[in-house]
Amino acid sequence: MPDYKAPVRDIQFTLYDVLEAEQHYQRIGAEEASRDLVEAIITEGGKFAEEVLAPLNQVGDKVGCKFEDGVVTTPPGFKEAYTQYVAGGWPSLAGDPAFGGQGLPESLSVVFDEMISTANWSWEMYPGLSHGAKLTLAAYGSDQQKQIYLSKLTSGKWTGTMCLTESHCGTDLGLLKTRASPQADGSYHIEGTKIFISAGDHDMAQNIVHIVLARLPDAPGGTKGISLFIVPKLHATTLESNNVLCGSIEHKMGIHGNATCVLNFDKAQGFLIGPPNEGLRCMFTFMNFARLGTALQGMAAAEQSYQGALSYARDRLAMRALPGPKFPEQPADPIIVHPDVRRMLLTQRSIAEGGRALIYFCALQADIVRASNSSEEERQEAEGLMNILTPIAKAFLTETGYEAANLGVQVFGGHGYIAEWGMEQIVRDTRISMLYEGTTGIQSLDLLGRKVLADRGKMLRYWTRVIHRFCRDNENRKLREFIRPLRRHYREWGGFTRKIGLKAMRNREEVGAASVDYLMYSGYVTLAYFWAKIADAAYRAIDAGAEDKTYYQGKIKTARFYYKKILPRAKYHKEVMMSGAKSLMDIDVEEF
């Protein structure tokens, strides 16, 4: 398995130089998030990821989870690592102090999550899903529910899950059949079966708090008749069984270290969260967090695969450089000298580092939304940015992260196909990221249909205004090579969006036909903005007399690579999306 090294300097560069997090924390009143504290979190979190979690990654893949007599056992070392995680106070970083949390900004939790996700994605999913459960309870739970559950989830003593999917319905939750019957004490009996529940059962924590979608007896059909419930595995007070039983665990392509469970709710006691029949709206708090977490998986795959491929390319000798030997003292040159290997490495690097900036930016918007001193205008803009960027980040970064993982195998050649190197595990583990929390197709429909066209482009303008201001403020600087193409792309973005909207008024199939290419175009332009920001930060550091100019010049040159070799893909997606629905929909079902 590739040795994971936390990219501490790149994380600091992205936070402080590119996104100016120090000023951000001051603006939102988070004085406790001093630079010294943040750097301590990054350093110590990196050590935990490198020394504790990374060595368990291949163990989790080879051994997997065990299911015997209704009991799930995680791979060797997983439970002990979780005990260290809790003892270190990591689950409580961004938690509410009223429930034992440290009260730090959400963005710092995301920085820590990046490192543990890259080191061991299967392990990270156990505590990772708990975070979404906490946010959902904090937003919609009653005072009593918060008192019972939030302190345990914040400390890490208990973990949480999200239970949506049933065997007959995945994305179309309007078809779900799980029932909730009211009881005299105000609780509900939950009956039904949920499948594909990540971290649905395990031996790492004392209890598991399931956040479950179900129907009340008098609920209307479809998505308007879904309610949200807290259903603990064990009763919160007695820790006795609550009739939430694991029926089996799935045998999967990857993420073998995480138990993906079939859960049977046999008159389990549940408690309503939020208003009746508005469960889907409430669940979106959890789902949006999970989608950004999945975007992180795509970025982490690119980072992990890049680290492995880069190390191998520096050492592996094969052939000579085309102009002549670069290392004449050796029998052959290292493969990093060859243009195609560099193409693969730089593609991985541009996805990982650009993706990091996008995800951290989204996390900073979440800070603004939750900050008590944010104005209503600031909060509205931050929410608008998160709404438009969440589907882009989730779908684009998982698609390109999977591409980066495959490129890592390609750099290794035949060795990449062999399990002992660990590169093919990254591919297998990452493949799920394009499926769960809404497939690429679903995210694309959400972006184009529900977010952009539904409000006539208002939400999109939150984002294009950010790009516009950056281009305007840097028009006459060294960034001209980036500003000109970036300005051209964001201007045409609005133009063809209007054209698709007009076509959709005549034929609604036009939205579905254009949506995936629309999202991918959006992703490439969005990452172009962040690479221009990265280049700007690097130029500023050099102008300020930074000692290590090589580091910053590497950022500028990677930005050039992205603009010359990756951004042109946007043109392809534009042409495809504007070609219309006819070639897709003309063929009859019988003609397939």
Q: What are the catalytic residues?
A: 437
Rounded Cα distance, 109 and 34, in Å:
15
Mark residue 382 as left, alpha or beta (left: phi above 0; alpha: psi -120 to 50; beta: remaining).
Answer: alpha
Residue where the block lists tokens 């994971």: 4
Q: Which residues contact 545 (CB under 8 A, 6 or more apart)?
A: none
User: What does the DSSP assignment read for 240-282?
Assistant: -B-SEEEEEE---SS-TTS-EEEEEEEEEEEEEESSTTBHHHH
Q: Which residues contact 73 (CB under 8 A, 6 or more apart)?
A: 65, 66, 67, 202, 203
Rounded Cα distance, 332 and 316, in Å:
9
Q: Tokens standing for 454? A: 């539904």
| Residue 313 burial (CB count, 10 A) | 20
CB 82 within 8 A of CB 75: no
Q: Tokens standing for 380? A: 């509205």
Q: Tokens standing for 104? A: 């730090």
CA distance to 130, 131, 295, per residue, from 289 (Å): 11, 8, 10
3-state secondary structure of 18: helix
Rounded Cα distance, 352 and 559, in Å:
12
Q: Tokens standing for 396? A: 């684009």
Question: Up-side HSE of residue 50: CA atoms within 13 Å toward CB?
Answer: 13
Residue where the block lists tokens 């969005």: 526
Rounded Cα distance, 390 and 358, in Å:
10
Q: How far apart are the two ends of the chain, measured CA to CA in Å?
A: 43
Find the angle CA(462)-CA(465)-CA(468) to the nearest 5 degrees: 160
Rounded Cα distance, 29 and 374, in Å:
9
Q: Which residues contact 35 (CB under 8 A, 6 or more apart)?
A: 16, 22
Rounded Cα distance, 57 and 424, in Å:
13
CB 270 within 8 A of CB 183: no
Residue where the block lists tokens 């184009």: 448
Question: Up-side HSE of residue 185: CA atoms within 13 Å toward CB?
Answer: 6
Which class for 506: exposed (0-12), middle (13-18), buried (19 or more C-beta within 10 A)? exposed
